[in-house]
Amino acid sequence: MPKRPGDGAVTAGTATVGRLVLRTFLWLPLCFAGWYFAAPVLGRFVGDVAAMLVDLIRSNLVSAIEWQDLHLEFVTNLRVHPEPDRVGVLVVEVNPLLYTYGLPLFVALMLAARAKAWMILAGAALLLPFQAWGVAFDLLVQLGVRSGAAVSAQAGLAGWRSELIGLGYQLGSLVFPALIPVALWVAFNRAGAAFHAPWPAHKSGLSGVVRRGEAR
């Protein structure tokens, strides 16, 4: 049966995609292992950026950040009364692993595509604000929504602010961790393809030379 035009291209494209998927799955275990062991360093860095983001939304809310068993503990300036005759500060715990798992996914995709090292480093840096967003809004949703009206009022996060915080939390927990790594991978691969594409002859000023050569 004769092949239709384009059948070879479709087959080659399918094989290329299949190899990319296979290489990605082979890289994933190593990338996730590296991400997990680097979690203490990455988590602290993300926590610092998240604290700066929170400070832009509500200043003087976080006084310190502590690291405990792969969790970030944000020490706030909010007063709580655990007992009638005792006063303490509210400490909120956030698990940064919930918001940084897109990093090993991105690295695995880039390694599978044989991307250059600078692209991987640049993509990791671009992921950082989105990871910090997730951590920051996890903290804010605990203060503005889950801790009760008294805490949210003291934090200045009551009313319409709590609605916006809930929306930001949904973006940071459901959309950014999985979507942004893939979007960055697509963007870097398109940029790399454009960089390595041959320059058209008519744009390089060589079209006249080519035509004269053909006329001979």
* Cα gap 190→65, rounded to integer Å: 39
* Cα gap 125→213, rounded to integer Å: 49
Which tokens belong to 166? 């809930």
**HSE (side-chain half, CA atoms, 13 Å) at 41:** 5
- Tell me the whole-structure pTM to 2 decimals: 0.81
DSSP letter assigned to residue 64: E
Exposure string of 149-188, with b = 16+ CB inside 10 Å and e = fewer, is eebbebbebeeebbeebeebbeebbeebbeebbeebbeeb
Q: Which amino acid is at 100?
A: T
Considering only 65-74, 90-99, 131-140, 199-208, which range has the smallest mean pLDDT? 199-208
Per the domain annotation, does 213 fall within a domain? no
Per the domain annotation, does 205 fall within a domain? no
Instruction: State the pLDDT at residue 211.
Output: 44
Per the domain annotation, does 185 fall within a domain? yes
Per the domain annotation, does 144 fall within a domain? yes
Number of independent structural domains in the chain: 1
Which tokens belong to 216? 């001979």
Model confidence at 100: pLDDT above 90: yes
* Cα gap 44→66, rounded to integer Å: 8
Per the domain annotation, does 161 fall within a domain? yes
For the chain, give the mean pLDDT: 84
* Cα gap 195→9, rounded to integer Å: 23
Instruction: State the pLDDT at residue 2.
Output: 53
Instruction: State the pLDDT at residue 193.
Output: 58
Per mean pLDDT, which of 78-87, 149-158, 191-200 is the most reliable? 149-158
* Cα gap 28→72, rounded to integer Å: 25
What are the tens digits of pLDDT across the range 34-70?
999 999 999 999 999 999 999 999 999 999 999 988 8
Per the domain annotation, does 6 fall within a domain? no
Instruction: State the pLDDT at residue 196.
Output: 46
Contact indicator for 50, 132 with CB cutoff of 8 Å: yes
Instruction: State the pLDDT at residue 86.
Output: 76
Considering only 5-19, 81-95, 165-179, which range has the smallest mean pLDDT? 5-19
Model confidence at 7: pLDDT above 70: no
Model confidence at 199: pLDDT above 90: no
Domain enclosing residue 153, as ranges: 29-59+99-193
Contact indicator for 133, 176 with CB cutoff of 8 Å: yes
Among 141, 153, 143, smallest CA distance to 91 is for: 143
Among 135, 134, 185, 183, smallest CA distance to 27 is for: 185
Per the domain annotation, does 216 fall within a domain? no
What are the tens digits of pLDDT across the range 103-120?
999 999 999 999 999 999
Per the domain annotation, does 5 fall within a domain? no
What are the tens digits of pLDDT across the range 152-175?
999 999 888 889 999 999 999 999
User: Exposed, middle or buried, 142 (CB in 10 Å: 0-12/13-18/19+)?
Assistant: buried
Which tokens belong to 88? 């303490």
